[in-house]
Amino acid sequence: MAQQAKKSKGRKFINIVIWAVGILIIVGGAAVAGLHLYVSNSKPVIEGELAVSILDEDVEVTRDGVGVPHIVAKSDADLYRAQGYVQAQDRLFQMDLARRQASGTLAEVVGESAVNTDKFFRTFSLRHAAEQSWDDYDAQSKQILEWYTEGVNAFIDEVKDTSKLSYEFKLLGYKPEAWTPIDSLTIGKYMAYDLGGNWNQQVFRSWAVQNYTQEQAEELFVEYPENAQSIIEANLNLETDIASAIPTDYLPSEHNGSNNWVVSGELTKSGKPLLADDPHLGLSTPSVWYQMHLQSPEQNVSGVIFAGIPGIILGHNEQIAWGVTNVNPDVQDIYIETPNPENPYQFEYDGEWEEATVRQEPIKVKDGETVDFEVVETRHGPIISNIMLKDTKMKEQFSMQWTALQSTQELKAVLGFNKATDWEEFEVALEDFKAPAQNFVFASTDGTIAYKANGLVPIRKQGTGALPVPGNSSEYGWESYIPFDELPTVINPEEGFIATANNQVVGEEYPYHISNLWAQPYRYERIVEMIKTPMYDEETGELLKLSVAEMKGMQMDKKNLHAQEFLPGLLETIKAQDKDDKYKNVITLLEEWEYYDDKDQGAPLVYHFLIENMEKALFQDAMPEDVYKLMPAKSQITDQMLRDAYAGNPGVWITEEGGLDKFVYTAFEDAVTKIKGKFGTSVSKWKWGSYNQLTFDHPLASASDFLADYVNPEKLPVGGSSVTVQAASEDGSGNVNHGASWRFVADLDNLKSAYHIVGPGQSGHVKSKWYDNQTSNWVYGRYHKTKINGDIDHGYELILKAE
């Protein structure tokens, strides 16, 4: 139910893989010793020499003490070939599943249970968009993709018919196909899907205006579209239940976000800028990120990249550093399409029937018959309604227009970042980064700090993307995009810092619409608070300036500004209702709390259970399960209802729960009852970390208890929450499966190195020493230093020999 909607990306897909592996284990009855032997035999070679025929000259690959590969080549051609080879050594199974999920070809290797997943991603057209994008890439970017592909395929050819092939392929009973440049671009489009969606928000709001009174519906909108009556009426008049027509199993995590900030040399000990970035994504084994250092005569760049893609997307070179957070712009619009009753491939537009484009997408099924499937595209985009069972008799169908389905060339931008030397060169490269839209922060050794909210953001003829719009009229749709030069940009601000945390980045004076739903401001406000709060030496009283240590500490900060805002009022209500001092010890626990979500404290446990109970009490039973999954911004909407109620203006939702006092106290009592049931009656022994457990689940883990013990890193108690800078979002059952997928701090005074955490580890191989060695580092903020000057500690050197 609600907790399932919070699962990290791809949970439906993961369950399908789990099912398939579970069957194989039951049927095969593999012996533990045999499995152990097979798995160990497929560990990649990391020392000595290996012949790689596609290279022009030898390439050095040195893995440092935490498994980060440092690749030094004599040309860019060999650099990218080696990057592809090394990524495949450590992450080939992850790469293969990523391209299959995004392309809609899981059923080929999993079977019938993956057909609906394939239908969904075929309809969302990620691979089709990648193919269109490839056609418009420049020759140099295409060449780099080809070099990278050569490297991946060199490894595949080397291992696919041997016991060196990663054990996951054996469990699922298939071999990887050859890699292609389109595979890399498709994985890039998947990240745009994971980070750039708002279609579910529109579907939910459409359902809400149809099923609730205007007063009820208005409270469920973060911003109700007052001046869009024609759009509201179009949704009120729908005959099709749009929420039931579109599957909800593949929703990206509602917690996707990030923190980044950059401070100028005026505020730092070194006199040079400092930059920090921690993108928040699903936490899994292996990590979504792969950390690398790439060096050739043309570049020297270090950072992270998605496995399956060349270059470095986030990180630094010898002159600059950069990082991102998600802008959360409204870049997907749902259109209410009117099909011709006589021809399901024609749709009304300005009084005429317009032919749709139809793509035949047959889905191959392992051990089954091929499933015929087609994707129908109107002028706006693919029909996404009723993917599971097409009903051509529906009066309305629903299409989606999305910036990422256009031809976009993000890889060209990434390759430009890697070689940029200053803000001007970096900003030129940024113009090609169009989907997903991101908040980029930047710093350079010349002292410049800068920010730009980048990407394609539509300018609409009517409305703001809050609701589906009529697809049968030219009065609706997109006119153009916010011009690149008019996107929010800041360079060397007077206050000496720039920070973003998915918060609102423009004021009322900004002439364009960007989003109907910004993240809550708590992480951003805490970052600013920490930057602005003066620090003094305890012995001398001297004012201290910021250093790397402070940046790390800020990323690990657990102060809960949400509680700081709401708990005083909630406590007054609870104390007034607790006339018999039944909950005196719990109230005292909350009163003494200093608002830090530390794992060893009990107050965060009570507070978060209370907040979740209030959210569920308002909405979970008030709508169907699938609609509840679609509902965006549940926490924000609950917060605003509480603010209004405490200001003397209780809305209809809280009033229907019996009023503010009853609503809050009932949720509090239920929270305490649940905690006692889980953790005992001794309040002094309650700990947030007893519930809040860091989880890096492997896709195969739930196939059996044996596999879970074998492939999952150990769960660890962890502090933080969804509203703290140290983001640790749990799934409703205490599994922290979303947060900082990478932590990064760079000191522009010395870019020969930077500081990183990539949990759970670098390697995707369960027998590698670097498989989960960064799990506890993630909890305690222990960073590793990655150097780019050749001075590598504890190195494991592998020479890839040209033949």
Tokens of 434: 């169009």
Q: CB-hemisphere CA count at 13 Å for 588?
A: 7
The Cα–Cα gap between 99 and 308 comes to 8
Dihedral (CA of 162, 163, 164, 166) sign: positive
CB distance 689 to 603 below 8 Å: no
CA distances from 644 to 180, 223, 654, 655, 800 (A): 54, 14, 10, 12, 65
The β-bridge partners of 458 are 481
SS3 label, residue 185 = helix
The Cα–Cα gap between 204 and 209 comes to 9
DSSP tally for the chain: helices H, then strands E? 28, 33
Asked whether residue 161 is marked as a ligand-binding residue, the answer is no
Annotated active-site residue in 133, 141, 258, 741: 258
Amino acid at 484: F
722 is catalytic: no
The Cα–Cα gap between 578 and 402 comes to 52
Please, which residues have CB within 8 angstroms of residue 368's CB and are 6 or more apart in sequence?
107, 111, 112
Tokens of 83: 């990057």
The Cα–Cα gap between 760 and 523 comes to 24
CB distance 353 to 343 below 8 Å: yes
Closest CA to 778 of 289, 332, 249: 289
- Helices marked H in 212-269: 214-220, 229-236, 242-245
Asked whether residue 626 is marked as a ligand-binding residue, the answer is no
The Cα–Cα gap between 651 and 283 comes to 37
The residue count of the chain comes to: 803
- Max Cα distance, the chain (Å): 85
Tell me the CA end-to-end span of the chain in Å, nearest whole number: 56
The β-bridge partners of 60 are 72, 799
Tokens of 48: 């000595």
The Cα–Cα gap between 644 and 391 comes to 43
The Cα–Cα gap between 7 and 697 comes to 11
Looking up tokens 């035949």 gives 360
Q: What is the DSSP letter of 567?
A: H
CB distance 526 to 282 below 8 Å: no
Catalytic (active-site) positions = 258
Q: Which residues are annotated as a binding site for Ca(2+)?
A: 330, 333
